[in-house]
């Protein structure tokens, strides 16, 4: 996987710790918007030092090809993060699978940016890392995420009981998967 890609409207970049101020701004501006869907965040999470540490850890994981997070920027505003797409738990052994996660700035939802980024990145993931299966776990009430994942061709597989701790509570998630066609 490359460090940067371009789509019609977006720059998709793996960022280093120089982007910590931009990442902190993105997280702070969307703190309340993201909160219902994420684990509890300690106050230290909302510091530039912590976000720089996150970016360094992500970069090291990218070098090992176990995790990729692409930050989304509008082409006309390459300094302001508007979202992320991540591929985690990348297994290149027998199952050749990973998990996908994504989030968008509250000001940029409903504009097709997540769809554009994922429609570009999923085939790259398959081509570059030979991933066969991508999983997504989604809270039942996250209707926008459910619409996105279904629009991308993911299939519903069932309920993952008590699978993710959200705001201090273990919650059920709907499990979806995307299987790349055999070539």
Tens digit of pLDDT per residue, the chain (183 long)? Answer: 999 999 999 999 999 999 999 999 999 999 999 999 999 999 999 999 999 999 999 999 999 999 999 999 999 999 999 999 999 999 988 889 999 999 999 999 999 999 999 999 999 999 999 999 999 999 999 999 999 999 999 999 999 999 998 988 999 999 999 999 875
pLDDT at 94: 85
φ, ψ of residue 153 to 5 degrees: the values are: 95, 15
Closest CA to 151 of 112, 95, 102: 112
pLDDT at 183: 56
The CATH class given to the 4-132 domain equals alpha beta
Cα separations (Å) of 146 from 4, 36, 109, 141, 177? Answer: 27, 15, 14, 9, 12
Q: State pTM to two decimals.
A: 0.94
- Strands 97-104, 133-138: parallel, antiparallel or unpaired by DSSP? parallel
The domain segmentation of the chain, as residue ranges, is 4-132
Cα separations (Å) of 174 from 45, 132, 156, 160, 181? Answer: 27, 20, 7, 6, 23
* Gap between the Cα atoms of 3 and 67, Å rounded: 12
pLDDT at 80: 97
* Gap between the Cα atoms of 73 and 83, Å rounded: 7
């Amino acid at each position: 996987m490359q460090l940067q890609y371009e789509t019609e409207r977006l720059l998709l970049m793996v960022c280093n710790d120089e982007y910590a101020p931009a990442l902190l701004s993105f997280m702070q501006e969307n703190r309340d918007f993201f909160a219902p869907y994420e684990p509890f965040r300690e106050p230290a999470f909302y510091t530039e030092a912590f976000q720089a540490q996150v970016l360094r850890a992500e970069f090291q994981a990218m070098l090992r090809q176990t995790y990729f997070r692409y930050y989304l920027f509008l082409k006309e505003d390459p300094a302001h993060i508007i979202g992320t797409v991540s591929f985690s738990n990348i297994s290149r052994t027998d199952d050749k699978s990973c998990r996908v996660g994504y989030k968008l700035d509250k000001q940029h939802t409903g504009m097709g940016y997540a769809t554009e980024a994922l429609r570009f990145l999923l085939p790259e993931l398959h081509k570059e890392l030979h991933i066969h299966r991508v999983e997504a776990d989604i809270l039942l009430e996250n209707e926008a995420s459910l619409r996105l994942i279904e629009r991308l061709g993911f299939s519903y597989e069932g309920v993952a009981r008590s699978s993710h701790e959200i705001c201090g509570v273990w919650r059920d998630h709907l499990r979806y998967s995307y299987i790349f066609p055999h070539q």
